[in-house]
Structure 1
Amino acid sequence: MKKLLITGLATAATLACGVATASAQTVYIVRHAEKASDTERDPVLSDAGILRAEAVAALFADDMPDLVVVSPLQRTRLTAAPTIAASGAFVAVSPLDAGVEAHVETLRRGVLALPDDAVILISGHSNTVPLIARALGYETPDMPECEYDRLIRIELRNGEVSGETRRYGAPSTY
Structure 2
Amino acid sequence: MSPMPLPRVLAVLLASLASACSTMPARDAATAPLTFVVVRHAEKATDDPENPSLSAAGQARADALAARLHDAPLVAAYATEFRRTQQTAQPTANAHRLPVEPYYARGPADEVAARWRQAHRHGTVLVVGHSNTVPDLVAALCECTTAPMDDREYDRLSLVRIDGDGRATLEVQRYGAPSTP
TM-score above 0.5, yes or no: yes
RMSD: 2.0
> Which of 39, 42, 49 is the equivalent residue of 1:33?
42
* Length-normalised TM-score, structure 2: 0.76
> Which of 98, 109, 125 is the equivalent residue of 2:114?
109
Tell me the CA shift for residue 38 of structure 1: 8.2
Partner in structure 2 of residue 134 of structure 1: 139
Larger Rg: 2
- 2:46 match: secondary structure: coil
Range moving further from structure 2, 139-148 or 106-115 = 106-115
2:155 is aligned with what amino acid? D
Q: Which runs of 5+ in 1 are unaligned?
A: 1-16, 19-23
1:14-25 superposed matches below 5 A: 25=34
Partner in structure 1 of residue 157 of structure 2: 151
Partner in structure 2 of residue 8 of structure 1: none
Structure 1 residue 91 and structure 2 residue 61: aligned?
A: no
Residue-pair matches, total: 149
Measured in 1, the distance between the counterparts of 2:65 and 2:36 equals 13
Partner in structure 2 of residue 163 of structure 1: 170
Partner in structure 1 of residue 10 of structure 2: none
Tell me the CA shift for residue 95 of structure 1: 1.6
| Aligned residues of 1:149 and 1:170 also touching (Cα < 8 A) | yes
Measured in 2, the distance between the counterparts of 1:40 and 1:170 equals 24
Range moving further from structure 2, 103-112 or 137-146 = 103-112
Q: Percent identity?
A: 36
* Length-normalised TM-score, structure 1: 0.79
Range moving further from structure 2, 72-81 or 84-93 = 84-93
| Aligned residues of 1:42 and 1:74 also touching (Cα < 8 A) | yes
- 1:77 match: secondary structure: helix
Tell me the CA shift for residue 138 of structure 1: 3.6
